[in-house]
Amino acid sequence: CDPLVLEALSHLRSALIPGRFQLEQLQARAGAVLMGMEGPFFRDYALNVFVGKVETNQLDLVASFVKNQTQHLMGNSLKAAGHSGSWL
């Protein structure tokens, strides 16, 4: 997976989990999901699900999209937390 995407996911995990999940079990579950996405998730998904040829420029677009969406979620989630408190 693209290093920038991994970095964005790591920042998302560390920014969202402590403030959004009050129960320790929910923090652990959310952390496990996001940490799993930082690992071989995307590689394994691509190998096991996709059949066909992918051009490099298409993969760059996907990596860019994931990075941008992660930044968008972080920005909006952190703004929402400041206005309405935490989620759980």
Residue written as tokens 């206005």? 83
- Alpha carbon 46 to chain centroid, angstroms: 17
pLDDT at 72: 86
Tens of pLDDT, residues 29-83: 888 888 887 777 767 776 777 666 666 777 788 888 888 888 888 887 666 555 5
Contact 27, 18 (CB under 8 A): yes
CA distance 57 to 8: 20
The residue ranges of every structural domain in the chain are 3-84
Q: Please, what is the angle between helix 56-84 and helix 3-20, to 10°?
A: 20
DSSP state of 52: S
CA distance 76 to 78: 5
Single pTM value for the model: 0.44
pLDDT at 77: 66
